[in-house]
Structure 1
Amino acid sequence: MGGCHLNHFWNTLQEDWPIVVEKTLEHIELSLLSLALACLISIPFGIYLARHKKLANSVITVVSAVQTIPVLALFGFMVPVFGIGFKPALIVLTFYGILPVLQNTYVGITSVSPALTEAGRGMGMSNWQLLWMVQVPIARSYILAGVRLMAIQMISMATIGTFIAAGGLGDIITTGINDMNTARILEGAIPVSLLVILINIVLLQLNRFLTPKGLRKNKSN
């Protein structure tokens, strides 16, 4: 029985392979562009909040509360303004990706030991030098952890873009559900899972690459 299901899946995949490749590329484009935009917004904003701590709790609380709005409801708000397709899906995914990186950037920067900051000032470093040579390198692991979490969310949530004609692997999954075709559902679901695993590995390796060699040796020991 299992062999029959497997054969059916492979036969369906061979027939649909060009569509699977096309939709996977659409999914990657939507996910990675949303990821890049969310990082460009949330990392600088997180650094700003770390320097204006009185604002931090209020801003993070508001962003957290707004992000409790269901994704489909937010799509409903966007469609009358931006129409359907890639653009509103990009805006919604970017919006939902802001919180993890914003919060982790803020926590990472504020967790830097005041002694290190004072030592840098004693060496004559400016605020910008302290930021880029002391605070950001130390907060790197926090920031990348937020990026990893956001990337996983982005890739998974991008499937919902099918409801506003944004393309991606969600198109294949919804077609499989409508046709009650398990093989077609797997054609969409498996690439999503593989993309999540791949981006997780890439970001873990990036974190390792950015870690100073001395710290790498200490961790391995």
Structure 2
Amino acid sequence: MMSKAALVVGASQGIGLEFARQLLDRVDRVYATYRSPDCDLFQLDSPSLERLQLDLTDEAQIERTIAKIKSETSELHYIINCVGVLHDGAMQPEKSLRHLNGDQLLKYFQINSIGAVLLAKHVQPLLKHRDRSVLATISAKVGSIGDNQLGGWYGYRASKAALNMFMRTTAIEYKRTCPNAIVVNLHPGTTDTRLSKPFQKSVPPEKLFSVDRTVRQLLDVIDQLENHQGGEFFSWDGTQIPW
């Protein structure tokens, strides 16, 4: 039996780290990327885990990282991209047009949108095999144009909408080049992570998920995907989200 391998991009903490942890029970090898070595990924110890430093905003780093993986395996069966930013020490989601500035908008798109499609570009050869495989990208329901009723969060919403378009377009090309690979966008729900921490007060306790629950739910969605569902956008409970 061929060994199976997974790549988790953005496994430093939170959802990405938990994906790496749970995928270690499913596959023979997990490649997990981190941006800064001062992260929780180094607390996860397994002989089946290989840590790779990667800044997804740097295409040269993406190319080098995938080349390293290619030197060890010709196939990946799970690729989970968990990289994303909503806020950091210098930026907060915009509540109004008056809060917009170009540098912050560019940062949202560079991290949340462009890196994902460049990753899809470089991992494509590792998905040209006969087994079922999945390229899943963590998106967000607020990136749905049809579902937007509240406004605000301009950069985050727009960059996630762009991410959804990038991955849907990737799915169309992959159907020709990697017909057994399913490309999907996933909304994890509100998860108890650093990303959501400043916004948890308005979330009912039953709708605030632990990272363990979030990843189990998303893996359940991934397990149930059929080939024709590539390029779609699904919530944590398997329901389809409008574009």
- Compute the TM-score of the two structures, normalised by the length of structure 2: 0.27
Structure with the largest fraction of helix: 1
Look at both structures and tell me which one has the larger radius of gyration over its CA atoms. Answer: 1
Give the structure with the larger strand fraction. Answer: 2
Q: Select the structure with the greater relative contact order (CA < 8 A; seq sep ≥ 6).
A: 1
TM-score (structure 1 length as normaliser): 0.29
